[in-house]
Amino acid sequence: MHAGCHVKLPKEIMMKKAVVNVQSNDVACFAWSVVAALYPAERHVERQSSYPHYTTVLNLQGIKFSMTLKQVNKFEELNNVSINIYYMNECGKQKNEKEGSLSIVPLRLTDDKKARHINLLYVPQDNGLGHFTWIKNLSRLVGVQLSSDKRKKYICDRCLHYFSSSGRLKAHSVDCTKLNDYYVRCSYDNSLSAYRYRRGTDCIS
């Protein structure tokens, strides 16, 4: 997995207004997305000029762009942040999903969640050079794919289970951090009329 320059997000993602997609002409979309999360802009959130340049606020010693998953652990250590990365995956038809709709699944989960925690969305491209964006509101991004219930959802950013209150989410998070390395909806099983779930990195190609 490699990530690079600015791309236009699918309309389905843009309409949710849950993701900030910083427009840049370099291959440092990972860095720009992190800066957007750490130094959020009040206006013109997609403009590169709305943020400090990543080279002035991030420690990039030994980090090479375009970004790869193997470098994320090192980046976390250098900058005292934690990062979850989610993947935009095309789904089949389910009760509350249209055929060909997009599903968001975990691609990489941090081992040590810190006060400065960031959720990023990786958008794959046909040329093999994907793109990173900042997930400003995870609940808004994934809420519909989890349930058609329109009430506010408190979502676990590791396993994507949702709860009715912040207290229930907090209680769940203690065990989830210990048990769930990855929790990915892998494939639709027609015989069960449901998606199969498995834990493990083999769920992502």
pLDDT tens-digit series, residues 153-170: 889 998 888 888 999 998
Q: What is the pLDDT of residues 46-88, one digit of tens each?
A: 999 999 999 999 999 999 998 999 999 999 999 999 999 999 8
Closest CA to 143 of 18, 8, 9, 10: 18
Are 58 and 35 spatial neighbours (Cβ–Cβ below 8 Å)? yes
Which residue carries 């793109």 as its tokens? 131
Residue type at 187 in one-letter notation = S
Q: Domain-by-domain residue ranges, the chain?
A: 11-148
Beta strand 129-135 with 154-155 is: unpaired
Beta strand 129-135 with 19-20 is: antiparallel
Length of the chain: 205
What tokens does 33 get? Answer: 């997305």
List per-residue pLDDT tens for the chain, 205 residues long.
Answer: 555 567 889 999 999 999 999 999 899 999 999 999 999 999 999 999 999 999 999 999 999 998 999 999 999 999 999 999 999 876 544 444 444 568 899 999 998 999 999 999 999 887 767 899 999 999 999 988 888 777 788 899 988 888 889 999 988 887 787 765 544 444 444 544 444 444 444 443 3
Residue 28 makes CB contacts below 8 A (sequence gap 6+) with: 54, 65, 66, 67
Which residue carries 């960031």 as its tokens? 118
Cis peptide before 66 (omega within 30 of 0): yes
Distance CA 1, CA 143 (A): 26
Distance (Å) of CA 182 to CA 57, 121, 136, 199: 30, 16, 21, 5
